[in-house]
Structure formats: C-alpha cells, structure tokens
Amino acid sequence: MSRAAEASYPSRPDESGPLPSAEAFERRLEEGRRLGEALLAGLSDAIHGQQATLTHVVTCLLAGGHVLLEGAPGLGKTQIVRTLAALVDGSFARIQFTPDLMPSDVLGTSLVSTDGDGRRDFRYREGPIFANLVLADEINRATPKTQSALLEAMGERTVSVDGRPRPLPDPFFVLATENPIEMEGVFPLPEAQLDRFLMKLVLGMPSLEALTQIGARPSEPARPAPITDTVTLARAAQTARHVAAAPHVLSYAARLVAGSHALPEVRYGAGPRAVQALMACGRVRAMLDGRPAVGVADVRAVAPHVLGHRVVLGFEAEARGRRAPDVVGALLETVAEAP
Amino acid sequence: MEREGGDRLVESVESTRVRARRVGALARWLDAMPYAALGGAALAAARGLVWPSGALDPALAGTPRAAILSACGALATAAIAALVAYRRARMPPLAAARAIDAHLGLTDVVASGHALSRDAAPGPAAALAIERARRAVSALDPAAVFPVTAPSWRPRRALLGALALVVGVAIGTLDGAVVSALVTPPTPEERAAAEALEAAARALEEEIEAREETRAPRPDPARTPDPERAADRALAAQARAAAAAAQRGDRDAALSALRAIEAAREGARERARSTRDSLAALASALGAPPRATGSEATPTAADQARELARLLRPRADEVDPATDAQRRAEERRALERLERAAERAARRGEDGLAEALRRARDALSGGDRDGAAQALEGAAGALDQLEDALAEARSALARRASLDALAAEVERTLQLARLGRETDEGEDADAFLDPRRGSGGPPSEGASSGTGARPLSAAILDRLTALGLAEGPTVSPRGSGGGPRRTGRPERAVPVERAAHAPSHVERAGTRAVAALEGLGRSGDPSEALREVYPSYGVDAEEALASERIPAARRRTVRRYFESIRPDQDREEVPR
C-alpha cells in the first residue's frame, strides 16, 4: 500500500496501521503535537495577524484535507502556502488559474517522444498537481471543466490519464484561493463540489497590532528552513486518525450535521461527509492539544469552517444578508453539547 | 491498574452526580419557595369552600382556619416542590463528568475517559484517554467541587411570600356567609321575621320556666327526665340560632337550623301519632261491648281495662248456674281480649304494659279472677300514663305551633331573598309563588278553590290587576277577611285577590312579567292575549320548576298556578 493511500482522507479514512500500546501512542501523540506546534510557529513567523487561520491550515494539513482560502488580495494567502511548502520538505507547485487553463495543464498530458533508437511513443508528462503541496491560485477564474479536473483529483487522490490511474504523492495538500471581490470573468465553484475542501477559511483584515508588525518588517521574510519531511507528516496524520472519540462527541457531530437540515434559513444542509470532516479536524485539534480523545470543544471550534461551505442558504436568508458562518453559529447555539 | 483506574473514575463521576443532584435540587427547591407561599395563600383564600365556618361567628372562626390552611397549603406545596426539584435535578453521568471537566478546566478529558471506560472502548488511544481521566480525578473531592452553600437571604422574595400569605389569610377569613351577607345583606323582612322568631323562642323558654316552677318537683329528674321539656328547650335554642343567623345574613345556617326545627316538629308529631295509634289499638283490643251507661265519651284504653277488671271481680251471683255459664263465656272473651291486647302492646314496644296484660291473662287462665283484675288495674295505670304522655305531646305541639309558623315565615323570607327578589321583583315572585297567600287561610285551603275554579278571563284580569296592568276591581275580595295573617312581612304580601286595593301607581310587575304581558290588559280580550304569551310563559315556569331555585314546598303551588291560568280547555288537574 502506498503512503498516499495510507494517509488519504476521506476516501480511505480507516486504513491505518495498529498502534502497539498506550505508551507508544502517547509518544506519537507528543510527536504530532510538537510537529503541529513547530509548523504553526514557522507559519506565524512569516504571517502576522492570521493565527486562527494558520491553526486551521495546519489542522487541515494533518487531517489530510484541502483548504479553500477566500480573501482579498494581499492578505497572505499565497504566502501561507509558500511558507508551508518551505517548512515541509516536499514538492510544491503553484497553478495560476485563468479562463484559458486546460485540464491537461493541471493534470499533465501524454506527449509524443522519440527515444534513442528513434522509436516514437507517448510519454506521460505529469502536471503540476503531482506535488505534495499545491497552490491553486484564484481557482474561480478557471472554467468549470478545469475546476472539475482539479476537484476530482483532490477527491480521488488519483489522476487517470490514458486509462491508467496515477496516484498523487503523499501528503497531497491543495490550498486553493479565490478572490471574492471581482465578479466579472469568474466561475464560482459548484456547491456540490465544495465539500472536496475540508475547510473553507475566510481571511479577514489583520488587527491593528498585526498591521503594525507587518509594517515594521523591513522586507519579505526569508524562506524558512524545512522542519519536517513528508514521512513525519504522514505519521502525524496517522496518529491523529487514531485519536479516540467518545460516543457523546460523535453524537454531537452527527447532531450538528443533522441540525443543519432543520434550520429554516438553510436550503440544503451538510452531507454525511461533513460528520467525517468534523471528526477528522476535531481529532487533529485534540492531537495538537496533546489529548488522546477528541472533545466537544474541538468539534465546536472547527464546525464553522467545516460546515460553512457545506450548507446552502435559502433565498430569504441571502436576501437578508445572512452568511453561512452566521447560520452555523446559530446552529452551534441551538444544538446541545450533551445529548 | 487500568481496571482500578476505571472504577475510580466511575466512583468519582457517580459521587459527583449525586452531589450535584442534591445541590441542584436544593437550589431549585429554594427557587420554588414563592410558589409554596402562593400555594398556602391560595388554599387559605379558598377557606370558605374548603373549610366553611358554618354557623359560627365568621369573623373569629375564619382567621385561624385560614391560617391553618395557609400553613398546610404552604407545606404541601413545598413538599411537592421538593419532590419535583429532586426529580428535575437528575444529572446523567455524562453531565457530571463534563461538570468535573469544567471545574478542572479540562476539555472533555474526564467525560471522554468516562464514556470510553463505560463502553470498554478498545485501542491505545482509548486506554490513554481513560488513564488521563483517572489521573484527572485522582485528587478530586466532589464535596469541594459542588459545595452545598447556605441559601441566600432574599428579602424581596420573602416579603412577597409573606404578603401573599397575609392576603390569602385575609381573603380566607371572609366566609361565604360573610360575603353573602355583605353582598346581599338581610332584608328588613328577614330581620323582622327573625326578630319575631326570636321573641317566640324567648316566650317559649319563659313558658318552660314558668311551667317548671308550678309543677311539682320530680322525684329524680336525672332518672325520669321530662322529654317534652328537653325538646322545648332544644327547639327554643334552634329557633334562637336560626333567628341570629338570619339577622346576620347567614342564610345557609339559618335554613339549616330551620330544617332542624322542622325535623323536630315532624318527630314530635310522629311520636304523638304513634302513641295515639297504640292507645287506639289497645282500646280496640280490650274493648268490651258498650255498656248502656249513656256515656257520650269514647272509652279510653284505660277505661276499657278497668271495665274488664271490674267484670273479672268475683261477684255474689257466682253460685247461680246460669250466671256461671255467662261468667265462663265472659272469661273466654276476656282471655281473648287480654291475649290480643298483650300482643299489640308488645308489638308497639310497650313492654311493661304487655307484661301486665300477660300477667292478667295468665291469672285468668289459672282461674284467679282477682289476680287478673289486679293485673288489669296495673295495666290501666300504665295506660293512664300513656294517655298523659299523649296529652303532653299534643299540648307541646300546640305550644310550638306559633313558633313553627314563625319559623316557616323566616324560611320563606330567606328563600325569597335567595331568589334575589327582595324588592319589587320579590313581591312579584311572592305573588307568583302563592297567589292566594293572605286570603284568609293556609295556602292549601286557598288552593282548593283558587283561580282554576273561576272563569279564565276573570283570573287573568285578577292577575293583570295585581300586576298593575289592568284596571277595575273585577276581582271579588274572596276570603280577604278570614284567618290570621302569617307574621313577618304583612305589608309585602300582596295577594292577587287583594291587588285591587293596592295603589294604582305602584308598579308591581316583575321585569319578566312586564315583558311578557306588555301591551295587554288595557283593551281587547285578555284570554286571547294570554293564549299568545302563555307558551313562553309556561316554558319559563317549567324551567324555574326544574331548577332548584324554587323551594320544594312551593313548587306544587307554582305549578298549580300556571296550570290554572293555562288557556287550553283540557288542562290537567294537578294533584295537591
């Protein structure tokens, strides 16, 4: 079994090797916590004022999911991915999505090549998606066809070209960005495919203090040195998947998702995959906190970002200017923590 | 070790749960204390329904009863509140574990560990989570986590509760009788009737005392009590109680006392009737062929017994064979009479008399005519006592007649006041209830020759004239001068027959009667008009009869009246 298959989420969430004992698990839990702490510290050095967003990005990275970043230009979306790629000793690729970008520009294509003997043959040339960390910049500028190619690869973690499946590397982490300001010449992502992203994070303006720190910095920060490799990262992700979940926490996540269908402002609630996403993110947060069991508070903390892009608001709610995070906030207030 | 840790974890959570339940129940119970005060106040306010003071003085009797009820209500409500609070403060283990987490500042460590331990979740992560939970609760003291704090003093709440209790007791002090007396105070007629009844009761008591002074002292009053004297005293006391209750407006108590008087009267009548029947039966049993003495008086039972004794005395002509045969025939007849009389006396409960008669029978059957005569003399003495008792009972009934009549008058005024017709409507109702009242005799006498026997048009005109809606003295003042009026409210009793003498400007019609008969009487055929209005009139009458607002004693009169004015030719004859 490939490493990519081992760490894949959510297509194969249960394929994790057994852990020897509680003591060994505690050690690996500590390793995972330190890794997350180190990644967060490295990101925080480069990006100011987005601490919560950085935590969620690290959470998604360790949970094996992808992140959709939405924010105005200049808020550090690209910088986050660049820094993360530098911290992880893995391959990095950036795809600038434009309307004329073709799926083959993302996935790769077969080209005719001539070998030394003069024989010609089709040789597959991998696209930029074959990298550990992929920055899909301004994904909503690409046509739906190209978007679908990327989203399918994100979900399957495999690219099929010429009828042959080609697994993507592990870890495979896509961080897509979209610009909410420009509405001309953009192709909004299909709502049904948005749940390919584990979280959707909306970057807001940093605080005044953070802006001051940013202004005080003389130049762009230096590219940080790698602090981990892909193997360590995959192992931490595996540890996170083993974090225990008590029945009442599972029940809470399930009730949150079920409750999203009962809200009057919501046209379509979150799907069953949202429960898996909530638990995966909650487990990583528990690991980052050094806890062997996920708690209700972990699920609450990630719920707005996990469920926000999975619910489709009704027309009336949109007309009233309600946003998905607001509705999810109301949902969190409604659903009781204990059954 | 893991097992011990799991047990320790469960123990901690369980003790925390129990502790938290107690604390929560206490807090809820203290919060419910105002409801306890309200419950006590509500029960105290309902004292008039729950625990009425009846004939007692309401102002004094109501307050302690209301206070007792308020205490009982508050205690009961507090007990119920404690039960509900304890039930609602039930805390599941998960909530207790989360409370521990909250107290220790942990994120679901104890809750998750407890749940995983309870479910025996496998895997190293679960084992580690349970171990960490065990470590977290190792130094936990549930008593410190959930201390039972003293209830905080809330003066505002306490003041409101006390105020509610005071208001409840104040409301509970007012009995239904008091409220009734305040809302519908005693009418002048009720007062007058009550005063008359009280005067009659006083007179009866004075008469009892006077009779006692003139009567020879009884040998042993304790062993031979005078039943009629005790009955007179009881009757006077009840009459006084009824008069007092009527004067203060407690109509229920007054009616209750009046019912007791009526029951006593019926009892006395029944006793007198029984004694009379006994004497008549014995006289009949002992009755010898009437002697040609020329006596006009009917021989009493004692006379019969003495006559029989005289016949049984030995006589000088006993040696005469012819007389002897006659004598033996007399003895046979005497034996039969004695046997019959003894049986009747025993059947009527006169055991002493029965025994004397049996002795006479036995002596006679044994040939002891003298002994039989002596026993018969003794029986005659017993019969004399019965005669005296009967005479005394009759005398007592006669003595109480005026008081009974006054009691009936008080009851009538009370019933009228209850119907809410003390004013003009009351007069109207009075006339409706008994149209012939005051016409010179008891209602039963007037009813026998009432309106039903007269021409219908004349009866209608009588009625309309009485209501002030028709002119002309078309009614003969039949029986207007006969018999004494019942005391109490002579000026208000306006009988139909006497309405022609009433001032014409007096509006005597009740509202309903005016509405029913509007436009009638001045001209046209009254019979025709009555046919038009009678159906609704009759329906109203039947409804009134069906309800309990009309006293049972008056219903027959009302029915008879409406039957008498029915315009149909084939109206029914209502039995009296």
Counted across chains A and B, CB pairs separated by less than 8 A come out at: 82
Chain A residues with CB under 8 Å of a chain B CB are 19-22, 24-26, 29, 242-249, 286, 289, 291-298, 337-339
Neighbours of B430 (CB within 10 A): 24
Distance between B102 CA and the closest CA of chain A, angstroms: 12
* Cβ <8 Å between A295 and B126: no
Using CB atoms, which residue from B92, B95, B116 is nearest to A293? B116
Using CB atoms, which residue from B98, B111, B124 is nearest to A22? B124
B234 pLDDT more than 50: yes
| Residues sharing a CB contact under 8 Å with residue B317, sequence separation 6 or more, in sequence order | B323
Mean pLDDT of B105-126: 89
In chain A, residues with a C-beta closer than 8 Å to the C-beta of B115 are 246-248
In chain A, residues with a C-beta closer than 8 Å to the C-beta of B127 are 22
* Cβ <8 Å between B125 and A242: yes
Mean pLDDT of B80-103: 89
* Cβ <8 Å between B128 and A29: yes
Using CB atoms, which residue from B107, B123, B127 is nearest to A297? B107
Residue A177 falls inside a structural domain: no
Which phi and psi (to 5°) does residue A130 adopt? -80, 70
Nearest chain A alpha carbon to B106: A295
Using CB atoms, which residue from B111, B116, B128 is nearest to A25? B128
pLDDT in tens, chain A (339 residues): 333 333 333 333 344 555 668 888 999 999 999 999 999 999 998 888 888 999 999 999 999 999 999 888 888 888 888 899 889 988 889 999 999 999 999 999 888 888 888 888 888 888 999 999 999 988 988 998 899 888 888 888 899 888 888 999 988 999 998 877 766 677 888 877 788 899 999 888 888 888 888 888 777 777 888 999 989 999 999 999 999 999 999 999 999 999 999 988 888 899 899 999 999 999 999 999 999 999 999 999 999 999 999 998 888 888 888 888 889 999 999 998 877
In chain B, residues with a C-beta closer than 8 Å to the C-beta of A19 are 123-125
Nearest chain B alpha carbon to A240: B125
More confident residue, B8 or A287: A287
Q: Which ranges constitute the DSSP H helices of B51-148?
A: 58-88, 93-104, 109-118, 124-137, 142-145
Using CB atoms, which residue from B92, B111, B129 is nearest to A292? B129
Nearest chain A alpha carbon to B116: A246
B439 pLDDT more than 60: no
Using CA atoms, how far residue B220 sits from B224, B226, B387, in Å, is: 6, 11, 22
More confident residue, B20 or B222: B20
Note the maximum CA span of chain A: 72
In chain B, residues with a C-beta closer than 8 Å to the C-beta of A297 are 107-108
Nearest chain B alpha carbon to A249: B112
pLDDT tens digits for A3-58?
A: 333 333 333 334 455 566 888 899 999 999 999 999 999 999 888 888 899 999 99
Integer Cα distance of B171 and B73 in angstroms: 15
B422 pLDDT more than 50: no
Interface test with B, best of A26, A299, A300 (most B CBs within 10 A): A26
- Kindly write down the DSSP assignment for every residue of B408-475, as one continuous string: HHHHHHHHHHHTT-SSHHHHHHHHHH-TTTTSSS-HHHHHHTSGGGS-HHHHHHHHHHHTTSS-S--S
* Cβ <8 Å between B124 and A21: yes
More confident residue, B557 or A83: A83
pLDDT tens digits for B121-141?
A: 888 899 999 999 988 888 888
Nearest chain A alpha carbon to B112: A246
Interface test with A, best of B91, B100, B112 (most A CBs within 10 A): B112
Distance between A338 CA and the closest CA of chain B, angstroms: 7
Among candidates B513, B475, B518, which has minimal Cα distance to B496? B475
Distance between B81 CA and the closest CA of chain A, angstroms: 26
Q: Mean of the per-residue pLDDT values for chain B?
A: 72
Among candidates A170, A210, A161, which has minimal Cα distance to A61? A170
Distance between A246 CA and the closest CA of chain B, angstroms: 5
pLDDT tens digits for B254-282?
A: 888 888 888 888 888 888 888 888 787 77
Structure tokens at A256: 């949150």
Among candidates A249, A329, A254, which has minimal Cα distance to A282? A249
| Residues sharing a CB contact under 8 Å with residue B551, sequence separation 6 or more, in sequence order | B411, B415
In chain B, residues with a C-beta closer than 8 Å to the C-beta of A286 are 107
Among candidates A110, A293, A305, A282, which has minimal Cα distance to A204? A305
Using CB atoms, which residue from B107, B124, B128 is nearest to A295? B107
Residue B90 contacts A where some CB pair is shorter than 8 Å: no
In chain B, residues with a C-beta closer than 8 Å to the C-beta of A293 are 108-109, 112-113, 116, 125-126, 129
Intra-chain end-to-end CA distance of chain A, in Å: 39
Interface of B with A in 112-131 (CB under 8 A): 112-113, 115-116, 119, 121, 123-129, 131
Nearest chain B alpha carbon to A26: B128
Pairing between β-strand A266-268 and β-strand A312-313 as defined by DSSP bridges: antiparallel
Nearest chain B alpha carbon to A285: B107
* Cis before A264? omega within 30: no
What range does the domain containing A307 cover? Answer: 243-339
CATH number at residue A337: 1.10.8.80
pLDDT tens digits for B281-335?
A: 777 777 744 444 444 556 777 777 777 777 777 665 555 556 677 777 777 887 8
Integer Cα distance of B112 and B134 in angstroms: 11
* Cβ <8 Å between A291 and B107: yes
Nearest chain A alpha carbon to B91: A338
The DSSP 8-state label assigned to residue A163 in this structure reads T
Neighbours of A263 (CB within 10 A): 18
Using CB atoms, which residue from B112, B127, B132 is nearest to A246? B112
In chain A, residues with a C-beta closer than 8 Å to the C-beta of B113 are 293
Task: State the sign of the Cα–Cα–Cα–Cα dihedral B67, B72, B78, B84.
Answer: negative
How many structural domains is chain A composed of?
1
Residue A72 falls inside a structural domain: no
Interface of B with A in 129-158 (CB under 8 A): 129, 131-132
In chain A, residues with a C-beta closer than 8 Å to the C-beta of B128 are 22, 25-26, 29, 244, 292
* Assembly ipTM: 0.83
Structure tokens at B170: 């104040």
* Cβ <8 Å between B112 and A297: no
Integer Cα distance of B341 and B313 in angstroms: 19
* Cβ <8 Å between B131 and A22: yes
Q: How high is the pLDDT of residue B424? A: 43
In chain B, residues with a C-beta closer than 8 Å to the C-beta of A294 are 108, 112
Mean pLDDT of B391-406: 80
Residue B111 contacts A where some CB pair is shorter than 8 Å: yes
Residue A305 falls inside a structural domain: yes
Residue A274 falls inside a structural domain: yes
Q: Is the CB of residue B440 less than 8 Å from the CB of residue B482?
A: yes
